[in-house]
Structure 1
Amino acid sequence: MNEQIFELLDLSKREVKIYRALLALGPSSIRVIAEKSGINRGTTYECLKALQSKGVISYLPKGKRRLFSPREPDVLLQLAQDKQRNLDQAIEQLKTRVIPDMHHLMPDFNAANVSYYEGDAGIEWVLRDILSTVSAQEKKEYSIFSSKPIRAHLYRPFPNFTLQRIQRGIEVKVIAIGDGGEDAELSERKWIKTDGPVDAAYIAIYPPKCAIISLASHNYPTAVVIDSKEVAAAQQIIFQTLWGLL
């Protein structure tokens, strides 16, 4: 876990090893640091320069020599906080300026608006996209058509999907095709009765997107996501009309 933390701070394993050596030694020359850390002098010097540029160490001139000195370990927390502030600023700029500007470069609809996914990993991505897309909207609600044969496979890669939906305060309306389906918090369900067998299918309408999930041979899940406010609006009208009739 510590290695992952240091990686997030952009500190390499060698840099961390040299910093630890410096903490134990106190102000020291490159030769002494290299011997303590077990890293050759050339690499030690490059790592010391990198650590100095990151503000983790400093140096003290002593005659013709240069002694490197570690800053207190609390500097690592400062590094993390600086990265967090920079990341928060980047996220805000992405939301308010960068991504909207990029959207303006795209035509209203082209092939790039249709994405294909497959396997459990692909279905999990689609389910997470539903949560993240709806969470960002003022009215946190989406609609789905769902048939019984697909239910056993749908949430297999994301078993706590419903729990996360509820935690985010997202409401869902479900038109179930065929029997089955469980009621859950923040959900409404109506049924379309059928006499014969029903194919596996799941259609999620979460404007400006629609996702269509089905099963190929050997119950292999596949999905298509259409990012189009016009298509989503048309599907929503169909859903609401049918909902009112059931």
Structure 2
Amino acid sequence: MDYKELTYLGLSEKEAKVYLASLELGSSTVQKISQKAKVNRATTYVVIEALINKGMMSQYTEGKKQYFVAESPEKLSLLFREQAMEIQRKHEYLDKILPQLRGLNSDKKDGPVVRYFEGKEGMRAIAEEIFVNDNKGKIRMIYSYDLLVDMFGEDEIKEMRKKRQSKQIKAEIITNDEQNRLETDASVYRVSTDKNKITSDVAIFGDRVRIISQKGKQSGLVIENKEIANTLKTLFDLAVKGLQKKEG
């Protein structure tokens, strides 16, 4: 097995090499693990200690020798589930104290607060903005569903939709959806790409506006300002009224 497969689980290159070497050798000394992993002995000691702290290896002494054992892959699955649950608990606690932290934000002036994001992880973070604690109302969204699928994939989109529904956040969407693939509980207004091409993802919620470029470089921003958000809500609602009249 290629050690790089384990780096996707958050292990460093040396941690992955040492764990796999130990798994193949079974109960073994640090010298043999070091040779098998092709990592120098001193570094192997440090890496093993890190893996023990992560619950991925254990140690015991027999006679005067110290032996190290890799935990079974099955136990790793349980370990990562526990870590995921711990992350979820921390995320929920952060949601709880976020309003207090915002109140302490000395950088927040009377003018708009603008935050910029880049890359795939940045796009995930910016997409999560709709779940902020003070978003108790409706979210208004404009995007190309076809481009949204290209960016996140349908499975991830469904997970975000489920999370929105669990928080009882209603939504209205104006979208390009040429293949009619969007399945949602939200009110949807489909517009043709021929006359109304959409290449950005815009969401208006609470006192925030989220804008993500759906073409080219993955980048986006969040504008936090009540007046800007309210003005864009008004423009969105006017657009929806126009689309409703057209449909009627």
Scaled by the length of structure 2, the TM-score of the pair is 0.59
| Rounded Cα–Cα distance in structure 2 between residues aligned with 1:111 and 1:208 | 12
- The CA deviation at 1:88 is 0.5
Distance of aligned partners of 1:49 and 1:140 in 2 relative to their CA distance in 1, 3 Å threshold: same
| Alignment-derived partner of residue 30 in structure 1 | 30
Gaps of 5+ in 1: 145-150, 175-179, 191-199, 215-219
Matches within 5 A, 1:205-224: 205-210=204-209
1:134–1:142 contact (8 Å) kept in structure 2: no
Q: Determine if contact 1:9/1:79 at 8 Å carries over to the other structure.
A: no
Is the 8 Å Cα contact of residues 23 and 70 (structure 1) preserved in structure 2?
yes
8 Å Cα contact 1:22-1:70 kept in structure 2: yes
1:232 to 217, 229, 236: 229
Query: SS at the partner of 1:28?
Result: coil
Code of the residue aligned with 2:207 in structure 1: it is P
Secondary structure, counterpart of 2:73 in structure 1: coil
Using the alignment, how far apart are the partners of 1:4 and 1:104 within structure 2? 43
1:142 to 134, 140, 147: 140
Structure 2 vs 1, CA of residues 240 and 22 (structure 1 numbering), >3 Å: closer, same or farther? closer
- TM-superposed CA distance for 1:91, in Å, is 0.6
Report % sequence identity.
26
Residue pairs, 1:50-61, within 5 angstroms? 50-61=50-61
> Could you say what the CA RMSD is over the residues aligned between the two structures, in angstroms?
4.9
Contact 2:210 2:220 survives alignment (8 Å): yes
Quote the offset at 1:160 in angstroms.
5.8
For the 8 Å contact 2:137–2:206, the answer to whether it is kept is: no
**Cα distance in 2 for residues equivalent to 1:156 and 1:53:** 44
Q: What do the CA deviations read for 1:193-227 (whole angstroms, capped 9, x no partner)? A: xxxxxxx9x9864331246899xxxxx9x987531
Correspondence for 1:103:
102
Amino acid at match of 1:12: S
How far is the alpha carbon of 1:87 from its aligned partner?
0.6
The aligned residue for residue 193 of structure 1 is: none
Q: How far apart, CA to CA, are the structure 2 residues paired with 1:227 and 1:160?
A: 27
Shift of 1:241: 7.1
CA contact (8 A) 2:123 2:220 kept: no
Q: Counterparts of 1:1-246 in structure 2 under 5 Å? A: 6-7=6-7, 9-97=9-97, 99-106=98-105, 109-111=109-111, 113-115=113-115, 129=126, 132-134=128-130, 137-142=135-140, 158=148, 164=157, 168=161, 171-172=171-172, 186-188=187-189, 205-210=204-209, 226-237=223-234, 240=237
Query: How many residues are treated as equivalent by the alignment?
Result: 216
Q: Is contact 2:3–2:16 with CA below 8 Å preserved after alignment?
A: no
